[in-house]
């Protein structure tokens, strides 16, 4: 069995304990807020970052993982005798991180022409645990001796099925992401209207508008119920634990079984959703690209 390494970026939101257990390495995004620069997972976790967002008057900005960081990581792997590297990225359409990985792989090949190390780069076309969860399975398949090509094919099939539903209880930051207009965001906050988005293949689309906090949960649950492949697992993504009980109970009643996991949205994702957001990640029908 070839010696391999599994690599991703911090927008995967994979809890560190799971990343450690499955030997998944994570390169972290840089985040700026109120004139200060930070590194996700190093300077704070997702919950701490959301507290900072609530207290801040400014808007956060994120910086992609750089070509230099990828190149340095690839050189470290080569020095360790790694023969195959699997890197799974945040949606390439929403971040230059995937392109930076490709550039670093080309640089590595040019500077180390005698190296036999293979680098496989997979665009998840999604965000958060939409690809974090699949990294676990990819690591398990590799540990079982499955060929890298089979693992990549499995990932690409899964990513053509992953769907994300998202809502935000405050719209200041999600407006910045461009997923909703300034006028709609202001009106939404004033009138208590919460848009519900799909975020599939990196494309956001408002599919419902729920008026009042009480309608958001039922609207999110009904949207998941209508789109999810029956019997498949799903996950609950949170910026704040205060939402967990209500959503878990409503989802369990509607679907018949609870979420596979409820997890904290990470800093890179919260920089675009804001500190009061909830997401649902699940398997839908396969999409052709």
Question: pLDDT digit string (tens) for 145-194?
Answer: 999 999 999 999 999 999 999 998 887 777 665 555 443 444 445 456 78
**Nearest-angstrom CA–CA distance, 103 and 93:** 16
- Which residues, in sequence order, are bridge partners of residue 87? 7, 121
> What is the tens place of the pLDDT at every residue in 233-261?
999 999 999 999 999 999 999 999 999 99
Angle (CA) 123-1-91 rounded to 5° is: 5
Q: Between these two residues, 288 and 29, which has the higher pLDDT value?
A: 29
The confidence score (pLDDT) of residue 172 equals 73
**Nearest-angstrom CA–CA distance, 280 and 234:** 7
The confidence score (pLDDT) of residue 190 equals 44
**Nearest-angstrom CA–CA distance, 182 and 180:** 7
Q: pTM of the entire structure?
A: 0.92
> What is the tens place of the pLDDT at every residue in 55-80?
998 889 999 999 999 999 999 999 99
Instruction: Select from 134, 128, 109, 152 the least CA-distant residue to 4.
Output: 152
The confidence score (pLDDT) of residue 192 equals 67
Neighbour count for residue 53 (Cβ, 10 Å): 23
CA 206 to chain centre: 19
> What is the tens place of the pLDDT at every residue in 212-236?
788 999 999 999 999 999 999 999 9
- Full 3-state SS string of the chain: CCCEEEEEEHHHCCCHHHHHHCCEEEECCEEEECCEEEEECCCECHHHHHHHHHHCCCCCEEECCCHHHHHHHHHHHHHCCCCEEEEEECCCCCCCHHHHHHHHHHHHHHHCCCCCCEEEEEECCCCCHHHHHHHHHHHHHHHCCCCHHHHHHHHHHHHCCEEEEEEECCCHHHHHCCCCCHHHHHHHHHHCEEEEEEEECCEEEEEEEEECHHHHHHHHHHHHHHHCCCCCCEEEEECCHHHHHHHHHHHHHHHCCCCCEEEECCHHHHHHHCCCEEEEEEECCCCCC
**Nearest-angstrom CA–CA distance, 273 and 271:** 6
Predicted confidence band at 262 (pLDDT cuts at 50, 70, 90)?
Answer: very high
The confidence score (pLDDT) of residue 203 equals 87
Q: Tell me the two tokens of residue 244.
A: 């967990």
**Residue-averaged pLDDT of the chain:** 92
- Residues 126-133, mean pLDDT to the nearest whole number: 97
**Nearest-angstrom CA–CA distance, 162 and 125:** 9
């Amino acid at each position: 069995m070839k010696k391999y390494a599994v690599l991703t970026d911090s927008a995967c939101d994979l809890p560190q304990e799971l990343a450690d257990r499955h030997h998944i390495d994570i390169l972290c995004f840089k985040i700026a807020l109120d004139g200060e620069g930070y590194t996700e997972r190093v300077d704070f976790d997702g919950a701490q970052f959301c507290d900072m967002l609530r207290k801040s008057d400014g808007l956060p900005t994120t910086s992609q993982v750089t070509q230099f960081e990828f190149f340095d990581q690839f050189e470290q792997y080569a020095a360790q005798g790694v023969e195959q590297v699997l890197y799974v990225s945040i949606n390439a359409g929403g971040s230059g991180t995937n392109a930076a990985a490709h550039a670093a792989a080309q640089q590595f090949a040019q500077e180390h022409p005698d190296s036999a190390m293979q680098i496989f780069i997979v665009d998840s076309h999604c965000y958060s645990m939409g690809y974090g969860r699949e990294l676990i399975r990819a690591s398990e398949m590799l540990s079982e001796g499955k060929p890298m090509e089979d693992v990549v094919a499995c990932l690409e099939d899964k990513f053509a099925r992953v769907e994300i539903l998202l809502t935000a209880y405050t719209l200041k930051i999600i407006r910045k992401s461009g997923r909703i207009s300034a006028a709609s965001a202001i009106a939404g906050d004033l009138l208590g209207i919460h848009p519900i988005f799909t975020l599939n293949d990196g494309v956001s689309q408002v599919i419902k508008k729920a008026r009042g906090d009480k309608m958001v949960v039922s609207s999110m649950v009904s949207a998941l119920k209508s789109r999810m492949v029956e019997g498949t697992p799903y996950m609950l993504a949170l910026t704040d634990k205060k939402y967990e009980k209500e959503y878990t109970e409503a989802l369990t009643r509607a679907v018949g079984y609870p979420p596979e996991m409820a997890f904290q949205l990470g800093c890179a994702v919260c920089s675009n959703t804001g500190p009061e957001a909830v997401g649902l990640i699940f398997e839908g029908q396969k999409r052709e690209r």
